[in-house]
């Protein structure tokens, strides 16, 4: 038991046993069946209309833990309907989109659309938005490039990034007539604006989410830190210069059968907001939905997982799950902490060969079924 191979074998066997024992409560895999991506689906959510204190409500990293969102602001109600791309005559600027999310604010009746498609094996691909609140005269926002904001399957420890930009107009206002020109009638001035957004996501917590009208269920918390860079073309010659940069942090709670069931967003500021910010610009909580029950099961759903070590390689094999189309095999060196899970391979088979263990003294594995 003193050779490197023997020590590695012992560590991996122990880690494999521990991994199976620690994924039984609150850790789920959220898949496309849990998200809202079919015409005719809808949900309603309570929302705030002014800044709200969220101290003590965000929870911590890791888990299992419980988030009780049965209480909170009820200043407004948002209704999200999933409709055809050409809903209310909009959507012609997004020919590749397959569905639109229409958001209606009950307080003032305003509407906004998000255009996307659910790409099998990839995730939710968003092409842009129709949003009058940003600029009523130029509401169409085309994302370049289209962005994958939520992958097809999401598990605790996952990380991903997304980058996109859109062009609009900034500071459209009337100008005064020239006092030295009697024929001058004034006019309007429009400054082109480009907004560049770079986001980093990490699934940093898991547990139970309790919602008004829906009760409780297993959930994951996604922590997104977004940086928005604003560039303007003052001279109107096509040359854009940065004039401001803002950061915002958003927590999303993804729940089985309910997709994005809750959302808390920090205020925008010129430095990254801390993980435990205390004041939120948005606190949104789902309370009604017609979403059918999803098909993703609570992890682990793998049976007879076995490990064999030979010549610096590890062979993992398991019994196939009848409902799984494929399996994602992941590893980490520190489960339950800040160390992320790294994808080793995604396969339709019931085995994976890891040829990299000779460089790792210890390794935890997990196998996630993808339905």
Residue 172: the pLDDT is 56
> Quick one: fold of 4-24+300-370?
Immunoglobulin-like (2.60.40)
CA distance 141 to 16: 47
Contacts of the segment 317-325: beta carbons below 8 A, 24+ positions apart: 317/350, 317/351, 317/352, 318/350, 318/351, 318/367, 319/350, 320/350, 321/369, 323/295, 323/297, 323/369, 323/371, 324/369, 324/370, 324/371, 325/370, 325/371
pLDDT of residue 19: 38
CA gap 21, 16 in Å, rounded: 9
Q: How far apart are CA 235 and CA 240, in angstroms?
A: 9
CA dist 138 and 150 (Å) reads 27
**Contacting residues for 83 by C-beta, under 8 A, at least 6 apart:** 39, 99, 100, 101, 102
Rounded Cα distance between 236 and 339, Å, is 47
DSSP code of residue 238: S
Q: What pLDDT does 335 receive? A: 67
Domain boundaries in the chain?
4-24+300-370, 32-289
pLDDT value for 181: 60
pLDDT score at 306: 86
State the first-to-last Cα distance of the chain, in angstroms, to the nearest integer: 40
Q: Which residue has the tokens 């609570």?
A: 298
pLDDT at 187: 58
pLDDT computed for residue 332 by the predictor: 81
Q: CA 283, 118, 112: angle at the middle one, nearest 5?
A: 45
Q: How do the pLDDT tens digits run along the chain, 371 residues long?
A: 333 233 333 344 434 433 333 333 447 899 999 999 999 999 999 999 999 999 999 999 998 999 999 999 999 999 999 999 999 888 899 999 999 999 999 999 999 999 999 999 899 999 999 988 877 778 899 999 999 999 999 999 999 999 999 998 775 555 555 566 655 555 566 788 889 999 999 999 999 999 999 888 999 999 999 999 999 887 777 788 888 999 999 999 999 889 999 999 999 999 999 999 999 999 999 999 998 764 333 444 577 888 888 877 888 888 887 667 788 888 887 765 556 778 888 888 889 988 877 666 677 888 887 76
List, in sequence order, every residue forming a beta bridge with 207; answer none if it has no partner: 65, 219
Count of residues making up the chain: 371
What CA–CA distance (Å, rounded) separates 344 from 57? 34
pLDDT at 22: 36
State how far the alpha carbon of 111 is from the alpha carbons of 92, 96, 284, in Å.
17, 22, 16
Query: How far is residue 37's CA from residue 195's CA, in Å, rounded to a whole number?
Result: 26
Structure tokens at 38: 């079919």
Residues facing 286 on adjacent strands: 45
For residue 362, give every residue at least 6 positions away whose Cβ sits within 8 Å of its Cβ, in sequence order, or none.
8, 11, 12, 15, 333
Distance separating alpha carbons of residues 368 and 350, to the nearest angstrom: 11
Give SS3 for 4: helix
Neighbours of 235 (CB within 10 A): 10
pTM of the model: 0.71
């Amino acid at each position: 038991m003193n050779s490197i191979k023997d020590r590695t074998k012992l560590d991996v066997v122990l880690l494999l046993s521990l991994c199976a024992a620690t994924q039984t409560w609150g850790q789920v895999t959220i898949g496309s069946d849990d998200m809202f991506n079919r015409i005719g689906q809808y949900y309603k959510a309570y929302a705030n209309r002014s800044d709200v204190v969220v101290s003590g409500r965000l929870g911590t990293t890791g888990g299992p833990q419980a988030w009780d969102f049965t209480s909170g602001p009820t200043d407004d109600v948002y209704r999200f309907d999933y409709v055809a791309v050409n809903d209310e005559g909009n959507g012609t600027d997004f020919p590749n989109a397959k569905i639109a999310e229409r958001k209606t604010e009950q307080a003032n009746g305003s509407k906004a659309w998000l255009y996307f498609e659910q790409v099998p094996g990839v995730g939710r691909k968003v092409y842009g938005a129709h949003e009058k609140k940003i600029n009523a005269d130029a509401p169409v926002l085309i994302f370049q490039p289209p962005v994958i904001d939520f992958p097809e399957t999401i598990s605790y420890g996952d990380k991903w990034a997304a980058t996109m930009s859109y062009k609009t107009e900034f500071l459209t206002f009337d100008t005064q007539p020239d006092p030295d020109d009697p024929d001058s009638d004034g006019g309007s001035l429009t400054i082109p604006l480009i907004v560049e957004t770079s986001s980093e996501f990490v699934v940093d917590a898991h547990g139970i989410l309790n919602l008004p009208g829906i009760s409780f269920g297993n959930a994951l918390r996604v922590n997104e830190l977004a940086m928005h860079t604003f560039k303007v073309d003052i001279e109107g010659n096509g040359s854009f210069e940065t004039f401001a940069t803002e950061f915002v942090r958003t927590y999303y709670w993804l729940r089985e059968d309910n997709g994005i069931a809750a959302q808390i967003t920090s205020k925008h500021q010129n430095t990254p907001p801390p993980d435990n910010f205390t004041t939120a610009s948005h606190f949104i909580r789902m309370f009604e939905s017609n979403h059918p029950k999803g098909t993703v099961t609570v992890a682990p759903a793998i049976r007879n997982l076995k490990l064999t070590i030979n010549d610096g390689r590890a062979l993992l094999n398991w019994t196939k799950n009848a409902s799984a189309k494929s399996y994602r095999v992941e590893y980490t060196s520190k489960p339950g902490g800040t160390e992320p899970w790294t994808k080793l391979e995604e396969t339709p088979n019931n085995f994976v060969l890891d040829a990299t263990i000779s460089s790792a003294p210890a390794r935890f594995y997990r196998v996630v079924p993808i339905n």
